[in-house]
Amino acid sequence: MLRSALAEAGLVAVTELPSAAVLFEKSGLVAGLGEARRAVADGGAYINNTPVTDADAPVPADQLLHGRFLVLRRGKQKVAGAELVR
C-alpha cells in the first residue's frame, strides 16, 4: 500500500542510501543539488516528515519505512518517495 501511494506521487529506486540532497534531486523535487541544499537550509526539506538538517549527510538506514521506503517532501505539497532496492 505504501509503495502504491509513493509510486503515484513519484518513486525513485536507489541501490544505496545517498545524501538527502542527492535523493531530492533524483526524485525530481528539486532541479539540482544547490536547490536541494537551499531547501534544507530554509527548513523546507523533510524525510518521513522529519526536517532534514544536513543536506550532505547520508540518510541513515534506520529511517527506512518497512526496511526500504522513504517519504520525501519539499515544502507543504511536493511529495515523492524513494525505495531502496537490493
The whole-number pLDDT of residue 86 equals 86
Query: Please, which pLDDT band fits residue 55 given cuts at 50, 70 and 90?
Result: very high
- Strand locations in the chain, DSSP E? 11-14, 45-47, 50-51, 69-74, 78-84
pLDDT in the model for residue 45: 98
The total domain count for the chain is 1
What pLDDT does 29 receive?
Answer: 97
Output the domain CATH number for residue 73. 3.10.290.10
Which residues is 50 bridged to in the sheet?
Answer: 47
Pairing of strands 45-47, 69-74: antiparallel
72 touches 63 (CB < 8 A): no
| Cα–Cα distance, 37 to 20 (Å, whole number) | 9
> Position of cell 534544507?
40
Higher pLDDT, 34 or 1: 34
What is the reported pTM?
Answer: 0.94
